[in-house]
């Protein structure tokens, strides 16, 4: 149990007026609560130390794993309402759960007035109930940080991939010739990824990736096929770029990977050096 959650529970049990925490006036959108969605330091959202990436914070202790992030939006039929009995919640916000992979983990989402959601996932506790209790502790911690307006910021260096606009990098005539000029480009809500037709470009922290090593446009990259996806992954310094092609006809095949390679050959040379 976090120190913040313990303090809140003690205050409730003892009915100490001095313990009362302020609640920010709502309704709060995700940006109102979290600030610039591109520069969230997700570990500060729960007041814990962990492995911080562009779109999440991960805390691992043996088989116990907890992650906060990313923020997300759009329709999701796996979601359902969850009753919340913790400290005061700003107007317009609510807690939701997800049925996805619910036998192995528990997911809770803090949903803001604009229907943007912040995801919390816990796995490895004694049972399903314990996973969900821990997830709600982290929701409680996040609400405390949000009410105190203390969400921290990531600082991206001038040459960081975190400063790039992936949709802009996919908008060159060369890339459009490969993917189709008239196909829709959809930027991710955090600004670190972009979907162009059936190909996505994503930037993140350096990652360990399993696959076939290949040289693409002079860069040492890793190519991997999983289910519908073929990904060309580049680690550069402490950061990474990934071009992911999606098969719309079934399992990813050689043609899926060829499309990912073609886009990577055009995009990788435009990235800043570490």
Give 69-107 pLDDT, tens digit per residue: 999 999 999 999 999 988 779 989 999 999 998 888 999
Q: What's the pLDDT at 6? A: 44
Q: What's the pLDDT at 79? A: 97
Can you name the residues that pair with 80 across neighbouring β-strands?
97
* Percentage of the chain exceeding pLDDT 70: 92
Q: pLDDT tens across 18-65, in order?
A: 344 578 887 999 999 999 999 999 999 999 999 999 999 999 998 999
Q: What's the pLDDT at 189? A: 96
Q: What's the pLDDT at 88? A: 79
Over residues 222-242, the mean pLDDT reads: 97
Q: How confident is the model at residue 2 (pLDDT cuts 50, 70, 90)?
A: very low
Over residues 229-244, the mean pLDDT reads: 97
Q: Look at 151 and 249; give whichever has higher pLDDT.
A: 151
Whether the per-residue pLDDT at 247 is higher than 50: the answer is yes
Show the domains of the chain with their CATH numbers: 3-147 (no CATH), 161-270 (2.60.120)
Q: pLDDT tens across 120-174, in order?
A: 999 999 899 999 999 999 999 999 999 999 999 999 999 999 999 999 999 999 9
Per the prediction, the chain carries an average pLDDT of 91
Q: Do the beta carbons of residue 181 and residue 175 sit within 8 Å?
A: no
Q: What is the pTM of this model?
A: 0.87
Q: How confident is the model at residue 216 (pLDDT cuts 50, 70, 90)?
A: very high
Q: Do the beta carbons of residue 153 and residue 126 sit within 8 Å?
A: no
């Amino acid at each position: 149990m976090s120190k913040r959650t313990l303090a809140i529970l003690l205050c409730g049990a003892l009915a100490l007026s001095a313990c009362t925490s302020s609640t920010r006036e709502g309704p709060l959108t995700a940006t109102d609560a979290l600030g610039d969605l591109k520069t969230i330091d997700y570990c500060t959202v729960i007041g814990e130390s962990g492995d911080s990436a562009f779109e999440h914070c991960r805390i691992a202790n043996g088989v116990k794993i907890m992650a906060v992030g990313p923020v997300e939006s759009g329709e999701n039929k796996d979601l359902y309402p969850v009753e919340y009995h913790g400290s005061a919640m700003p107007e317009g916000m609510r807690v939701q759960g997800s049925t996805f992979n619910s036998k192995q983990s528990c997911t809770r989402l803090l949903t803001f007035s604009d229907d943007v959601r912040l995801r919390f996932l816990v796995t490895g506790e004694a049972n399903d109930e314990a996973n969900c209790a821990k997830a709600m502790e982290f929701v409680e911690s996040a609400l405390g940080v949000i009410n105190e307006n203390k969400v921290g910021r990531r600082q991206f260096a001038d040459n960081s991939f975190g400063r790039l606009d992936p949709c802009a990098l996919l908008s060159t005539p060369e890339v459009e010739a490969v993917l189709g000029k008239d196909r829709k480009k959809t930027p991710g809500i955090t600004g670190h990824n972009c979907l162009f037709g059936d190909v996505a470009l994503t930037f993140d922290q350096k990652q360990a990736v399993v696959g076939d090593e290949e040289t693409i446009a002079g860069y040492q990259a890793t190519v991997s096929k999983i289910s519908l996806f073929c990904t060309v992954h580049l680690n550069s310094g402490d950061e990474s770029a990934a071009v992911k092609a999606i098969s719309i006809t079934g399992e990813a095949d050689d043609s899926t990977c060829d499309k990912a390679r073609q886009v990577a050959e055009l995009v990788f040379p435009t990235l800043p050096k570490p």
